[in-house]
Amino acid sequence: MESVAVKPSEVLRQANQEHLHRLRHTCSHVMAMAVQKLFPDAKVTIGPATEHGFYYDFDRREPFTPGDLKSIAKEMRRIIKANLPVVRQELPREVIRQEIDKLNEPYKLELLAAIPEGQPISRYFLGEPDHHPQPWWDLCAGPHLESTGQIHPDAFALESVAGAYWRGDEKNAMLQRIYGTAWETPEQLESYHLMLEEAKRRDHRKIGKDLHLFSIQEEAGGGLVFWHPRGAAMRNLIETFWKETHLAGGYELVSTPHVANLELWKTSGHNDFYRDSMFDTMEVEEQTFQLKPMNCPFHILIFKDTLHSYREFPLRMAELGTVYRFERSGTLHGLMRVRGFTQDDAHIFCTESQIKDEILGVLNLAEFILSTFGFAQYEVNLSTRPEKYVGEDAIWEQATAALRQALEAKGWAYVVDEGGGAFYGPKIDIKIEDAIGRRWQCSTIQVDFNLPERFDLEYVGEDGNRHRPIMIHRALFGSLERFFGILVENYAGDFPLWLAPVQARLIPVSDDHLPYAVAVAAKMKAAGLRVQVDRSGDRMAKQIRKAELEKIPVMAIVGAKEMETETLSIRSRKHGELGALSVATVVEKMLAAVGDRGWF
RNA sequence: GCCGAUGUAGCACAGUGGUAGUGCAGCCGAUUCGUAAUCGGCAGGUCACGAGUUCAAAUCUCGUCAUCGGCUCCA
One domain for residues A337 and A476: yes
pLDDT at A116: 87
One domain for residues A508 and A452: no
Does A203 map to a domain? no
**Which nucleotide shows the minimum CA-to-C1' distance to residue A162?**
B70
One domain for residues A303 and A275: no
Does A2 map to a domain? no
For the cut 80, the answer to whether the pLDDT of residue A1 exceeds it is: no
Q: Which protein residue has its CA closest to C1' of B1?
A: A328
Tell which strand B nucleotides have any atom below 7 Å from a protein Cβ: 1-5, 7, 11-12, 25-26, 30-38, 65-75
Does A458 map to a domain? yes
Spatial distance from the CA of A305 to the C1' of B64 (Å): 47
- Least Cα distance to A563 among A510, A599, A522 occurs for A510
What is the Cα–Cα distance from A158 to A499, expressed in whole angstroms? 40
One domain for residues A459 and A535: no
Q: What is the pLDDT of residues A251-302, one digit of tens each?
A: 999 999 999 999 999 999 999 889 999 999 999 999 999 999 999 999 999 9
What is the Cα–Cα distance from A289 to A315, expressed in whole angstroms? 29
What is the Cα–Cα distance from A453 to A86, expressed in whole angstroms? 59
One domain for residues A447 and A521: no
Residue A269's Cβ-count burial label (10 Å; 0-12, 13-18, 19+) is: middle
- Least Cα distance to A114 among A144, A90, A99, A93 occurs for A93
pLDDT at A6: 58
One domain for residues A286 and A374: no
One domain for residues A241 and A285: no
User: What is the sign, positive or negative, of the torsion defined by CA atoms of A324, A474, A385, A301?
Assistant: positive
Least confident of A1-15, A33-47, A331-345, A494-508: A1-15
One domain for residues A113 and A142: yes
The count of domains in chain A is: 4
One domain for residues A302 and A388: yes
One domain for residues A545 and A426: no
Does A197 map to a domain? no
Q: What is the pLDDT of residues A511-526, one digit of tens each?
A: 999 999 999 999 999 9
Q: What is the pLDDT of residues A161-192, one digit of tens each?
A: 888 999 888 888 889 999 999 999 999 998 88
Residues of A annotated as catalytic (active site), given as ranges:
296, 325, 343, 345, 347, 427, 473
Q: pLDDT-based confidence at A7, cuts 50/70/90?
A: low
Q: Give me chain A's average pLDDT, please.
A: 93
One domain for residues A278 and A312: no
Q: Which protein residue has its CA closest to C1' of B36?
A: A545
Spatial distance from the CA of A411 to the C1' of B68 (Å): 42
Residue A277's domain spans which residues? 258-292
Spatial distance from the CA of A478 to the C1' of B52 (Å): 48
Q: What is the pLDDT of residues A112-143, one digit of tens each?
A: 988 888 888 899 999 988 888 889 999 998 88
Cα distances (Å, whole numbers) of residue A528 to A17, A191, A362, A535, A587? 51, 43, 31, 21, 9
Which of A244, A270, A292 is at the close of a domain?
A: A292
**Which nucleotide shows the minimum CA-to-C1' distance to residue A165?**
B71
Tell me the HSE value of A48 on the side-chain side, using a 13 A CA sphere: 4
pLDDT at A2: 39
State the ipTM, two decimals: 0.93
Q: Which protein residue has its CA closest to C1' of B31?
A: A539
Which of A271, A292, A313 is at the close of a domain?
A: A292
One domain for residues A264 and A288: yes
Q: pLDDT-based confidence at A197, cuts 50/70/90?
A: confident
Report the run of H or E that residue A180 belongs to, with start and end.
strand A174-182
Q: Are the C-beta atoms of A504 and A547 separated by less than 8 Å?
A: no
**Which nucleotide shows the minimum CA-to-C1' distance to residue A514?**
B32
Q: What is the pLDDT of residues A212-228, one digit of tens each?
A: 999 999 888 899 999 99
Spatial distance from the CA of A31 to the C1' of B4 (Å): 19
**Which nucleotide shows the minimum CA-to-C1' distance to residue A539?**
B33
Q: Are the C-beta atoms of A351 and A321 separated by less than 8 Å?
A: no
Q: What is the pLDDT of residues A394-420, one digit of tens each?
A: 999 999 999 999 999 999 999 999 998
Report the run of H or E that residue A585 belongs to, with start and end.
helix A583-595
